[in-house]
């Protein structure tokens, strides 16, 4: 063994204790760390020839890098839709690396069964029936990719061909209909060979980001019985609007389509009684995308993917190889046959820990508090001269802009000024052609005091 490696092994206890102290200090420091900061240019350094050992590597990280990291795990990072890591979620993630399991095949470890348990807990959390089978993937984008890959195989089944064997050419052009699809749906269409132009935008309800059901009905009728994919959106990123999932599912009685629901963070409406009705029909979907590193507050990278057609999923992701010794026809297929990855980390462990530690109630409290805090920030923005709210605060996102001349340049400059305050991080967007700002609440640590600090920083930055 390399002597430095041997020394680190011999000193594992004190070394990991040092890392633990660093981690705890970083977590306690989140209140003081800038929510975000502009990256500075750095000069490139050469690959270390000899290596310095873990303690020196930690010292080098502390000296060179840690100060430049954002407070994205903290309470006032309101950009994108960003979760932190609950204490138990973090512990699960630490142990994921410690045990370093590869829950691919079920012949060597209980790890795949732990993943199945975590999936079943999530199915209950979101009120899905037994027909939905799930698997962990790296994030909502990959969950959308897997869902649409199964949809693509289903389209082939409707036309009597197997895309997984014969390729996309056997299928011909594909249509994906959606109201306000997330950008990752276009990425998925590109990756899956459907093409970004396969995604056709269906009209939205006036002043909303929810699809107009009559327009969707008409778009489906125009297909004259040709099966298509419908992507319904449960929680849009700008205004957290929801398509009417029950009404879309009801259209299946008259038109053939695969219903994929992108509920990346909107699925968590199930944990807020006033909002739960928005996702009551989620179970009617054929495939569902739910992110976990957002509102479940487990570390990156984690999402779950549900679908009703495991048989089609297995056809797409089947990975037969003698050396893997995994019979694909088992009642519970091995994970190697269900997702793009073969080897994969036991990312289910962080979710398992957080659900075991805090349960439905604990996670519902996070969701309900975030929703309440978003409403509170919305009210403060209404009372702030120079800012104008652009949409109702439907759930956990406040979408607003500069009251005067919200051009791209002025809004981008405003967002940079806010970032450089260090108090809060928000991200720009465009809503109905207007440059705007989003503040999205999904971190478990955020409090009323944070909202006060955020509101003050947003007001100070008005030009």
Ligand X SMILES: *Cc1c(COP(=O)(O)O)cnc(C)c1O
Q: Is 436 helix (H, G, I), strand (E, B) or coil?
A: strand
Q: Which is nearer to ligand X, 287 or 421 (CB)?
A: 287
**What does the alpha-carbon distance between residue 412 and residue 417 come to, in Å, rounded to a whole number?**
9
Determine, following the binding rule CB under 6 A, whether residue 442 of this chain makes contact with ligand X.
Answer: no
> For ligand X, which residue of 30, 35, 54, 81 counts as binding (CB under 6 A)?
81
Return the range that interacts with ligand X (CB under 6 A); candidates 105-113, 168-176, 261-269, 376-384. Answer: 261-269
> Cis before residue 301, ω within 30 degrees of 0?
yes
> For ligand X, which residue of 264, 346, 390, 436 counts as binding (CB under 6 A)?
264
Binding characters for ligand X, 44-73, by CB under 6 A (x = yes): ------------------------------
> For ligand X, which residue of 118, 119, 125, 140 counts as binding (CB under 6 A)?
140
> For ligand X, which residue of 76, 132, 152, 182 counts as binding (CB under 6 A)?
182
Return the range that interacts with ligand X (CB under 6 A); candidates 153-161, 206-214, 257-265, 407-415. Answer: 257-265
**What does the alpha-carbon distance between residue 411 and residue 419 come to, in Å, rounded to a whole number?**
12
Among 219, 216, 173, smallest CA distance to 196 is for 173
> For ligand X, which residue of 104, 141, 339, 401 counts as binding (CB under 6 A)?
141
> Cis before residue 373, ω within 30 degrees of 0?
no
Instruction: For the CB of residue 247, give the shortest distance to ligand X in the complex, in Å.
Output: 19
Q: What is the DSSP letter of 200?
A: E
Instruction: For the CB of residue 279, give the shortest distance to ligand X in the complex, in Å.
Output: 13
Identify the residue whose tokens are 């873990």: 54
Q: CB of 463 within 8 A of CB of 418? A: no
Q: Which is nearer to ligand X, 265 or 268 (CB)?
A: 265
Q: CB of 23 within 8 A of CB of 408? A: no
CA diameter of the chain: 71
**What does the alpha-carbon distance between residue 292 and residue 298 come to, in Å, rounded to a whole number?**
6
Q: How far is CA 19 from CA 3, 58, 66, in A?
A: 21, 8, 13
Q: Which is nearer to ligand X, 146 or 336 (CB)?
A: 146
Q: CB of 401 within 8 A of CB of 12? A: no
Return the range that interacts with ligand X (CB under 6 A); candidates 189-197, 259-267, 402-410, 431-439. Answer: 259-267
Q: Which is nearer to ligand X, 96 or 144 (CB)?
A: 144
Return the range that interacts with ligand X (CB under 6 A); candidates 23-31, 54-62, 106-114, 134-142. Answer: 134-142
Counting every residue written for the chain, the total comes to: 463
Return the range that interacts with ligand X (CB under 6 A); candidates 92-100, 199-207, 258-266, 332-340. Answer: 258-266
- DSSP state string for 163-181: HHHH-GGGT----EEESS-
Q: Is 15 exposed, middle or buried (0-12, 13-18, 19+ CB in 10 A)?
A: middle
> For ligand X, which residue of 106, 139, 227, 333 counts as binding (CB under 6 A)?
139
> For ligand X, which residue of 209, 241, 243, 291 counts as binding (CB under 6 A)?
291
Q: Which is nearer to ligand X, 265 or 414 (CB)?
A: 265
Binding characters for ligand X, 219-248, by CB under 6 A (x = yes): ----------------x-x-----------
Q: Which is nearer to ligand X, 184 or 370 (CB)?
A: 184
Instruction: For the CB of residue 423, give the shortest distance to ligand X in the complex, in Å.
Output: 24
Q: Which is nearer to ligand X, 156 or 179 (CB)?
A: 179
Q: Which is nearer to ligand X, 255 or 344 (CB)?
A: 344
Determine, following the binding rule CB under 6 A, whether residue 262 of this chain makes contact with ligand X.
Answer: yes
Determine, following the binding rule CB under 6 A, whether residue 450 of this chain makes contact with ligand X.
Answer: no
User: What torsion, rounded to 10 degrees, do the Cα atoms 391, 394, 395, 400 define?
Assistant: 10
Please work out the total of residues on this chain that contact ligand X, with binding judged by CB under 6 A. 13
**What does the alpha-carbon distance between residue 8 and residue 325 come to, in Å, rounded to a whole number?**
35
Determine, following the binding rule CB under 6 A, whether residue 209 of this chain makes contact with ligand X.
Answer: no
Binding characters for ligand X, 303-342, by CB under 6 A (x = yes): x---------------------------------------
**What does the alpha-carbon distance between residue 285 and residue 123 come to, in Å, rounded to a whole number?**
13
Helix axes 12-28 and 54-64, enclosed angle (nearest 10): 20
Q: Tokens standing for 335? A: 């994970």
Number of helices (H) and strands (E), helices first, in the chain?
A: 14, 11
Query: Which residues are CB-contacts of 206 (< 8 A; sequence separation ≥ 6)?
Result: none
Q: Which residues bind ligand X (CB under 6 A)?
A: 81, 139-141, 182, 184, 235, 237, 262, 264-265, 291, 303
């Amino acid at each position: 063994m390399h002597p430095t490696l041997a020394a680190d092994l011999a000193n594992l206890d004190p070394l990991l204790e040092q890392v633990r102290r660093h981690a705890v200090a970083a977590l306690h420091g989140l209140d003081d760390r800038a929510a975000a900061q502009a990256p500075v240019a750095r000069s490139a350094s050469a690959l270390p020839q000899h290596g310095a050992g873990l303690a020196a590597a930690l010292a080098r990280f502390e000296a060179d890098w840690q100060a430049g990291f954002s407070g994205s795990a903290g309470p006032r990072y309101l950009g994108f839709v960003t979760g932190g890591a609950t204490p138990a979620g973090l512990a699960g993630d630490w142990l994921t690396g410690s045990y370093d399991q590869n829950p691919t095949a079920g012949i060597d470890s209980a790890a795949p069964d732990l993943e199945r348990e975590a999936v079943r807990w999530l199915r209950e959390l979101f009120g899905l029936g037994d027909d939905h089978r799930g698997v962990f993937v790296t994030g909502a984008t990959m969950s959308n990719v897997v869902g649409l890959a199964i949809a693509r195989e289903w389209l082939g089944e409707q036309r009597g061909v197997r895309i997984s064997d014969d390729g996309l050419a056997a299928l011909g052009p594909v249509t994906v209909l959606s109201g306000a699809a997330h950008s990752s749906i276009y990425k998925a269409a590109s990756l899956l060979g459907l093409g970004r132009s396969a995604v056709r935008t269906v009209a939205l309800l006036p002043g909303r980001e929810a699809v107009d059901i009559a327009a969707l009905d008409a778009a489906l009728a125009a297909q004259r019985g040709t099966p298509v994919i419908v992507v319904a959106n449960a929680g849009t990123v700008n205004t957290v609007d929801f398509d009417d999932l029950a009404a879309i599912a009801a259209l299946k009685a008259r038109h053939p389509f695969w219903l994929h629901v992108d509920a990346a963070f909107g699925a968590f409406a199930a944990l807020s009684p006033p909002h739960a009705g928005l996702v009551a029909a989620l179970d009617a979907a054929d495939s569902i995308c739910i992110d976990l590193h957002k509102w479940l507050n487990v570390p990156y990278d984690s999402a779950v993917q549900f679908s009703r057609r495991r048989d089609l999923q297995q056809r797409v992701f089947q990975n037969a190889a003698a050396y893997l010794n995994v019979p694909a026809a088992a009642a519970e297929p091995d994970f190697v046959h269900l997702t793009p990855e073969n080897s994969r980390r036991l990312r289910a462990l962080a979710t398992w820990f957080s659900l075991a530690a805090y349960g439905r109630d604990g996670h519902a409290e996070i969701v309900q508090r975030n929703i309440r805090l978003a409403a509170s920030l919305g009210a403060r923005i209404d009372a702030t001269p120079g800012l104008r709210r652009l949409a109702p605060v439907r759930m956990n996102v406040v979408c607003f802009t500069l009251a005067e001349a919200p051009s791209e340049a002025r809004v981008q400059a405003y967002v940079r000024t806010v970032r450089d305050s260090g108090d809060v991080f928000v991200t720009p967007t465009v809503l109905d052609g207007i440059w705007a700002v989003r503040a999205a609440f999904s971190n478990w640590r955020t409090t009323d005091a944070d909202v006060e600090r955020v509101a003050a920083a947003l007001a100070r930055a008005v030009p």
